[in-house]
Structure 1
């Protein structure tokens, strides 16, 4: 046992002796190894930095390239922002915001793009459109020359098929009451929404009971060639005209400019902007024209008589029968729609058109009940031309 321990101890000495010799032999080489290691580390560092710089630059270039978008016409700052009609009519603008937006008006004459002027047919309705199929026949084949806008009672949601001219043409609406200022609000709302389409040049207000009396081409030509807009603005004496005037409207609205006209009108773009931008006369009518003063008969005729009197033809292009008396005009049903009925509308009238007398005074007629649709569709090709 002792011998083995001695051997082990001797072995340890031998090992120690050998290792000590190796360490002493390695010491002169240590600076060389450290130098090589340092050189290797510097080389790796340089390569790493170069790689990072290169890949980083490539990343920046890639990022710039990927985010660069060439100028397109549909960009927010391009002209298309102003000349393209809204893709949908439903929006969340308040009336104040809508009227402000619609009052924008180019001051420079002419257009720096190809503009095809259109007629905006504005339907102010209390219910669904029972005569819609007649209007669709009237408008068929004239796409690009008209626009349709529907202001119904807020409780009504239109459900027209995708191929209908009335599909998705309902604008945000509010309650409109006969004889109240909110009726004029509804009309201004229609005008303002239609003004958002820069191509709309003529604006026709109709109801769900109105029909066209001529084909589209005839009406388009009549309106486009007219030097005036068609709104009645009569100085009517007595209780139903001047008798409705309130002296509190002065000085903005003097009695000498107080006018009365039909609710159903046609105006050009200039007058449409004049109407929607008004903040001077509106408060006076809202405050002092209440039943038995009916603002829808007085507000627009009076305001435009003050602002743009020479632009008015002082007549409506919508025929209405008041011969039966009462506060509302006559309504015509199925049995009334005959050739002789329309002949009475066309004959025996005379009016001025561009300074000349003409017998073509009315382009539209009202009021037709839903029961009149069948006879109207039957007689329209022969009598009305569509």
Structure 2
């Protein structure tokens, strides 16, 4: 079952289809028209910022890399989705997987929207159950600009409950302890240094989470 959402009155994007990547490319293309925009972050309606604006801005400003999750999954949900018709543009050892929730700078944003080399291959040969939005950008950017990638996302999700989608959090889940754990519960590399500030956004939050989030935002998240 697909979950379509409208980008405009005439264009529909569907989960797992190339139309998802088309929508993301259109969003980037429009944002790039404003020359004052330096960084571009893709989040969903179920995401929340977990730090104040200044912290988030400085994190991107001072980073030497962009935050696109990229990893090589040798199993059936990674390399198992590869189609050998992707050669010679994409070889099996170049095939990557990642989250669609990314942050890129202008250079990578331009790289994404101007691509005509990899797009036709992914459109034709990465079809359900390939889930092109999990592979196209991670693979293409790894080939073209690997040094520009931190190989991780700045959007926190919880896959520990199992299933095809990450956990959704509602009113009963929102506590100060939970939010603090999301903010600093992991260690990562930031500019080649260990850091406990690994995420700037988190998902998925249900509408019922809004009220307790508003209560805790000023003291825990630093805004509101």
Fold conserved between structures, TM > 0.5: yes
* C-alpha separation in 2, matches of 1:153 and 1:172: 7
* Aligned equivalent of 1:382: 219
Name stretches of at least 5 consecutive residues in structure 2 with no aligned partner.
none
**Which of 239, 252, 255 is the matching residue for 2:76?**
239
Whether 2:174 is the aligned partner of 1:321: answer no
* C-alpha separation in 2, matches of 1:215 and 1:331: 22
Superposed CA offset, 1:10-40 (max 9, x none): xxxxxxxxxxxxxxxxxxxxxxxxxxxxxxx
TM-score by length of 2: 0.95
- Maintained 8 Å contact 2:40/2:104: yes
Deviation at 1:370, TM superposition (A): 0.9
State the 4+ residue runs in structure 1 displaced beyond 6 angstroms: none
Whether 2:6 is the aligned partner of 1:153: answer yes
Change (3 A) 1:173 1:232: farther
Change (3 A) 1:315 1:172: farther
Structure having the higher Rg: 1
* C-alpha separation in 1, matches of 2:93 and 2:31: 32
Deviation at 1:341, TM superposition (A): 1.1
* C-alpha separation in 1, matches of 2:109 and 2:9: 19
* C-alpha separation in 2, matches of 1:347 and 1:318: 13
* Aligned equivalent of 1:84: none
* Aligned equivalent of 1:214: 51
Deviation at 1:346, TM superposition (A): 2.6
* Aligned equivalent of 1:141: none
Which protein has the bigger helix share? 1
Whether 2:67 is the aligned partner of 1:230: answer yes
> Highest relative contact order (Cα 8 Å, sep 6+), 1 or 2?
2
Q: CA RMSD in A?
A: 1.4
- Maintained 8 Å contact 2:47/2:205: yes
Between the two proteins, the alignment pairs up a number of residues equal to: 221
TM-score by length of 1: 0.56
